[in-house]
A = this chain, B = another copy of it.
Amino acid sequence: MKEQLNKLKEKLAEISNISRSIGLLGWDQQTYMPPAAAESRGNQMATLGKFAQEMSISPELGRIIDDLKRFLPEIDPDSDEACLISVSSKDYDKATRVPVDFVVEQAKITAIAQQAWVEARQNSNFQIFLPHLQKVVDLRRRYSSFFPEVEHPYDALLDDFEPGMKTSEVKNIFNAMRPKQVELIKAISDRPQVDNSFLHQAFDEKKQWDFGVEVITKFGYDWNRGRQDKAHHPFTSSFGLDDVRITTRVDPNFFNTMLFGSMHECGHALYGLGIGRNLDYTGLDGGASLAIHESQSRMWENLVGRSLPFWEYFYPRLQEVFPSQLSNISLKHFYKGINKVQPSFIRVEADEATYNLHIMLRLELEIAMIEGTVSLKDLPAIWNNRIEEYLGVTPPNDAQGVLQDIHWSAGGLGYFSTYALGNLISVQLWEKINQDIPNLTERIRQGEFGELLGWLMSNIHRHGRKFEPQTLVEKATGSTISSAPYLRYLEKKFNQIYDI
């Protein structure tokens, strides 16, 4: 087994090195690349992508994996070796089921669809996008057909982001949550509203940057193994266990964008930096799923960064940095302001109480599209009705409604739910962490995050992709993903803030 395992690791290491190189090409594209280089960069990424793809479906890799699978019954299923064999086997199976022609066709169709979406959104005209959306949906249904064994056609799409998760599970979780979240928002809207106008002032960019650096350094971000750069759409990239970089955006007239964005990306980066060395170069050296990844970013952004204890420590410091803007704003006023609930048309930068509802709406529509139970031409109306039902607001046009996100045009049907699941998981972990570290609140109040990070590393980070998300959450908390902790958290927090 040893020998075959080494062969497997050798192949996976090559794929890993190519993928990480593609990652750097992408990072550079969004940070420092000169504008005119877009086309040549696309060609570089296409060539490397082609090699990575060829390697990941090579018959030799398949033979090595098949050879190794016969050892599975003999070894501990939680061991690195067993997980490596199982996960590689699943990856290989999925990669080989999708014909190369399909991948090429999809790339072409989505490239055109994205252009059409840009035009459609500019003109707020869904008709321009409709025929392209139809093609994208057809593609995704064809993709699903490569996995005929799934219970629901959407399962095949979901599995790419949340390995092992079923559409029915996600529906159940969301159905249990939605009514209560809608109820909470209605209750909030009946209360006197919170003032957050002080966040919308001029804040020196350099000072914002430095304060953000101060915060994430305290979180434990290791600058020897990472860095922060500016990007228009912030993201986190990992090019190895010693090179996980974040990007951020600074709005000189709104304080939240940079700071909460930095904390969010830092949460992703801490995950990437905490993965076990034993998994390096194996392909298991990434996050378990998008939802687990999002649970980490959301935890640092919201459960830590939007909490009162955090600001008890950091607010005096922030007032020092921005005296003219904040010296007359009390801690309590500030805390309420950064947690203001404000139903909006757009998901991006939505508050904790409304965010999930945006996601649920999209998931419902995606499932219906894949099932074929909705006529695409009716989407704008359905979208607007449902936003009204969930959030009490109606988009003035389709640009701010059904056309707001680029994702569908890029073929990205299947992963929206991961954002909401991430929120749920973050709180589910948070309850367990507070049991395991009883004085966590006190530690945060003192600006100490080492124990928290240690817990996350031990229970989540180090495992990489060894376990599927449900298994990982169960190992860490004792139960599979549930909305109950999140609802408890939301109600407690916002009942207090809005005095409900």
Residues of A at the B interface (CB closer than 8 Å) are 13-14, 17-18, 20-21, 24-25, 28, 32-37, 39-41, 43-44, 46-48, 51, 222-227, 229, 239-243, 245, 281
A279 to chain B, nearest CB (A): 13
Contact call B36/A242, Cβ cutoff below 8 A: yes
Contact call B243/A41, Cβ cutoff below 8 A: yes
Closest to A46 in B: B17
| Set B32, B37, B223, B242: member contacting A40, Cβ < 8 A | B242
| Chain B residue contacts of A24, Cβ below 8 A | 24-25, 28, 44
Q: Give the top 10 A-B pairs by smallest Cβ distance, nearest first.
A: A40-B240, A37-B243, A17-B47, A36-B242, A36-B225, A17-B44, A37-B242, A36-B224, A21-B44, A14-B47
Contact call A44/B239, Cβ cutoff below 8 A: yes
CB-defined A-B contacts under 8 Å, sample of 12: A14-B47, A18-B47, A18-B48, A21-B48, A24-B44, A34-B225, A35-B224, A37-B242, A40-B239, A40-B240, A40-B242, A40-B243
Contact call A243/B48, Cβ cutoff below 8 A: no
| Chain B residue contacts of A51, Cβ below 8 A | 18, 51
In whole angstroms, how far apart are the Cα atoms of A20 and B41 in the complex? 9
A248 to chain B, nearest CB (A): 15
In whole angstroms, how far apart are the Cα atoms of A241 and B41 in the complex? 11
Contact call B241/A43, Cβ cutoff below 8 A: no
In whole angstroms, how far apart are the Cα atoms of A39 and B13 in the complex? 13
Copies of this chain: 2
Closest to A226 in B: B34
Contact call B243/A36, Cβ cutoff below 8 A: yes
Contact call A242/B281, Cβ cutoff below 8 A: no
Closest to A51 in B: B51
In whole angstroms, how far apart are the Cα atoms of A281 and B48 in the complex? 15
| Chain B residue contacts of A240, Cβ below 8 A | 37, 40-41, 43-44
Contact call B239/A39, Cβ cutoff below 8 A: no
| Chain B residue contacts of A17, Cβ below 8 A | 43-44, 46-48
Given A37-B239, A37-B242, decide whether A21 and B25 contact each other with a Cβ distance below 8 A: yes
| Chain B residue contacts of A226, Cβ below 8 A | 34
| Chain B residue contacts of A14, Cβ below 8 A | 47
Closest to A35 in B: B224
Contact call A227/B21, Cβ cutoff below 8 A: no
Interface hub of A222, A239, A281 (most chain B Cβ within 10 A): A239
In whole angstroms, how far apart are the Cα atoms of A452 and B101 in the complex? 50
Closest to A241 in B: B40
Closest to A47 in B: B17
A300 to chain B, nearest CB (A): 20
A19 to chain B, nearest CB (A): 9
Closest to A19 in B: B44
| Chain B residue contacts of A21, Cβ below 8 A | 21, 25, 44, 47-48
A25 to chain B, nearest CB (A): 6
A434 to chain B, nearest CB (A): 32
A28 to chain B, nearest CB (A): 6
In whole angstroms, how far apart are the Cα atoms of A72 and B186 in the complex? 80
